[in-house]
């Protein structure tokens, strides 16, 4: 083969590899690229050890119920998965019902806009995003409502990513992000005109503790909406398959323990909220939220090849392959939970903080 042929062949292979890794791979073109995968705030050489540490948590189940242990556990999880989520899924780390004729991105945006529509905020109001991640929902909600959104996440790496995205989107004047524990939020009482959480409070060891904090920082009369991860009325604790699925979801998503749908409203009332509305947004006529996971199997294998190659070359941290494999196994448990109807990631509850009593 002459030098020209070799050059052309090499260029073709290099171009194909670039397309495979940098163009085809990402779900969110303006987000994270495969070649930039990292361990968040964890140094590259410690990613694998942190992954092992994460799994060791489940060998000490009593610690899952200990509030002071959970924040570090959740922080480690999001250091490990944030880049992979953003690369393979997008900037909104949650599910939404499939909508015929709409892309996943459009369905996600509509699901987020519905949350802020439910809490009746107006332009200029100050609202709280409880567990904001890298801020995908925050930006959609700020653009839709023109409210000022303050997000809180326990993961410092996510704070930096969210601020970067806010600036790129031209929404940094409406969106702010703070690093903190939503069980002990750094905000005064009666600060916000509304609040929402989208598949985030599932990380709290006790739901009443995070609901009480949200209640505290809301102004009297303000509304709060949450999309909760729950087991449904179809879940049977005596069914080994059901238990396996739920435990698989918990372990793969850093959950202290999934709650029953029946406990959500009672918890809200316990801390003082008035329950305005409650509905599982995953129930028909909603289209299956887990269809995106089923359709993404080919993308997973493609991405897994990319992660494996990048890890072998030393571009992605050692341990990234293990984290990616964990997330794929979790996707299977989530799909099975959806197919069996025993799990929902979008049990919606709308609450109001009562107005102060007049003397």
First-to-last alpha carbon distance for the chain, in angstroms, is 93
Q: Is the pLDDT of residue 307 over 70?
A: yes
User: Taking residues 293-300, what's their average pLDDT?
Assistant: 75
Tokens at residue 292, please? Answer: 């995106």
Q: Which pLDDT score is estimated for 359?
A: 39
CA–CA gap between residue 229 and residue 118 (Å, rounded): 19
Q: Which pLDDT score is estimated for 250?
A: 94
Q: Is the pLDDT of residue 292 over 50?
A: yes
| pLDDT tens string 21-54 | 454 544 444 457 777 888 888 888 899 998 888 8
Tokens at residue 353, please? Answer: 């903080």
pLDDT confidence tier of residue 2, bands split at 50, 70 and 90: low
Q: Which pLDDT score is estimated for 177?
A: 98
pLDDT confidence tier of residue 109, bands split at 50, 70 and 90: very high
Q: Which residue has the higher pLDDT, 249 or 309?
A: 249
| pLDDT tens string 174-229 | 999 999 999 999 999 999 999 999 999 999 999 999 999 999 999 999 999 999 99
DSSP secondary structure letter of residue 245: H
Q: Is the pLDDT of residue 357 over 50?
A: no
Q: Is the pLDDT of residue 10 over 80?
A: no
* Single pTM value for the model: 0.89
Query: What top-level class would CATH report for the domain 38-358?
Result: alpha beta
For 277, the enclosing helix (H) or strand (E) is strand 274-280
Q: Which pLDDT score is estimated for 28?
A: 44
Q: What is the dihedral of CA 155, 51, 92, 69, to 10 degrees?
A: -40
Given a contact cutoff of 8 angstroms between Cβ atoms, the answer to whether 30 and 53 are in contact is: no
| pLDDT tens string 125-175 | 999 999 999 999 999 999 999 999 999 999 999 999 999 999 999 999 999
Q: Which pLDDT score is estimated for 187?
A: 98
Q: Which pLDDT score is estimated for 61?
A: 54
pLDDT confidence tier of residue 18, bands split at 50, 70 and 90: low
Question: What share of the chain has pLDDT > 90, as a percent?
Answer: 64
Q: Is the pLDDT of residue 9 over 70?
A: no
Tokens at residue 200, please? Answer: 């985030």
Per-residue exposure over 197-229, b if at least 16 CB sit within 10 Å of its own CB, e if not: bbbbbbbbbbbebbbbbbbbbbbeebbbbbbbb
Q: Which pLDDT score is estimated for 130?
A: 98
User: Taking residues 247-255, what's their average pLDDT?
Assistant: 94
Q: Which residue has the higher pLDDT, 17 or 28?
A: 17
| pLDDT tens string 52-101 | 888 877 765 555 555 566 778 899 999 999 999 998 889 999 999 988 88
Q: Which pLDDT score is estimated for 88?
A: 84
Q: Which pLDDT score is estimated for 356?
A: 75
Q: Where are the domains of the chain?
A: 1-36, 38-358
Q: Which pLDDT score is estimated for 41?
A: 87
Measure the CA angle with vertex 332, ends 330 and 334; round to 5°. Answer: 70
């Amino acid at each position: 083969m002459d030098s020209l042929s070799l050059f052309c062949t090499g260029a073709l292979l290099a171009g194909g590899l670039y397309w495979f890794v940098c163009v085809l791979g990402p779900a969110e073109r303006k987000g994270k690229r495969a070649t930039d995968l990292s361990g968040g705030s964890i140094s590259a050489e410690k990613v694998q050890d942190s992954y092992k540490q994460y799994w060791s948590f489940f060998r000490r189940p009593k610690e899952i119920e200990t509030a002071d242990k959970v924040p570090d556990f959740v922080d480690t999880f999001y250091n490990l998965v944030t880049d992979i989520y953003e690369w393979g899924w997008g900037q909104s780390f949650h599910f939404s019902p499939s909508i015929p004729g709409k892309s996943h991105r459009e369905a996600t945006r509509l699901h987020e806009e519905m949350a802020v529509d439910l809490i009746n905020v107006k332009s200029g109001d100050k609202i709280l995003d409880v567990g904001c991640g890298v801020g995908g929902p925050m930006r959609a909600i700020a653009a839709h409502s023109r409210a000022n959104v303050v997000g809180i996440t326990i993961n410092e790496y996510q704070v930096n990513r969210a601020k970067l995205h806010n600036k790129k989107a031209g929404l940094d004047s409406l969106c702010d992000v703070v690093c903190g524990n939503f069980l002990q939020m750094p905000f005064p009482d009666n600060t916000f005109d509304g609040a929402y959480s989208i598949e985030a409070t599932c990380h709290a060891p006790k739901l009443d503790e995070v609901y009480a904090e949200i209640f505290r920082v809301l102004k009297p009369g303000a509304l709060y909406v949450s999309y909760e991860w729950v087991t449904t009325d179809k879940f049977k604790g005596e069914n080994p398959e059901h238990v396996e699925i739920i435990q698989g979801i918990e372990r793969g998503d850093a959950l202290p323990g999934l709650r029953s749908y029946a406990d959500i409203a009672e918890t809200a009332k316990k801390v003082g909220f008035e329950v305005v509305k409650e509905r599982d947004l995953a129930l028909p006529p909603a289209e299956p939220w887990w269809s995106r996971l089923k359709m993404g199997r080919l993308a997973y294998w493609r991405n897994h090849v990319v992660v494996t190659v990048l890890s072998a070359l030393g571009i992605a941290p050692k341990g990234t392959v293990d984290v990616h494999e964990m997330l794929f196994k979790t996707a299977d448990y989530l799909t099975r939970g959806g197919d069996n109807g025993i799990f929902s990631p979008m049990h919606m509850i709308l609450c109001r903080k009562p107005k102060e009593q007049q003397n």
